[in-house]
Amino acid sequence: MMKIIQQNKLCATVRLLQRTNAKYVVLLALGMLSACGGDQAVDALPQNWQGMEVRVETRPSPPRIGMNESLILVTGEHHRPIYDLMVSLRTSDQDPWKQAIQDGQVGVYRRAVEVAPGTRSVLQVQIKRNGTESILRFPLNLVP
């Protein structure tokens, strides 16, 4: 009995879709898909160093004035994670470097840093690997 009711409901739905104009169904589906997306904004554009792509994400995203968690995501060729780095962060030239914590062997390094308008709205990422090092600067767009 339950199968018959389910089949009747399915048939009614199919008939309804056949009667309605297909473009409205497509618009409805696109609207539903766009509603599922998050409000995650790009915190800063990725940069390259020695064949690696270095990306920055913050929590919250976009960053706000105060302490924010910064995630540094490093991938190499074919988007493989790079996990043999020493990554340190700061937001001011006067601050000491603070080493980021490696989050497993997935190419993610994390650390909380203070973010504020002015010079503290640029995340400085120091990367060391095999005796070489570099400092990448990621300007952050703050939400007041």
What residue spans define the domains of the chain?
A: 2-36, 47-139
- Peptide linkage before 63 cis (omega within 30 of 0): no
Please report, as a single letter, which amino acid is at residue 50. Q
Q: For domain 47-139, say whether CATH 2.60.120.380 is its number.
A: no
* Confidence at residue 27, expressed as pLDDT on a 0 to 100 scale: 44
CA atoms of 35 and 24, how far apart (whole Å): 16
pLDDT per residue of the chain (144 residues) written in tens, 0 to 9: 555 545 565 556 556 656 665 545 544 444 444 444 444 455 789 999 999 999 999 999 999 999 999 999 999 999 999 999 999 999 999 999 999 999 999 999 999 999 999 888 999 999 999 999 999 999 999 887
pLDDT of residue 59: 95
Radius of gyration of the chain (CA): 23
**Whole-Å CA distances, 40 to 36, 57, 59, 101:** 12, 9, 10, 23
User: What's 28's DSSP letter?
Assistant: H
| DSSP bridge pairs for 90 | 124
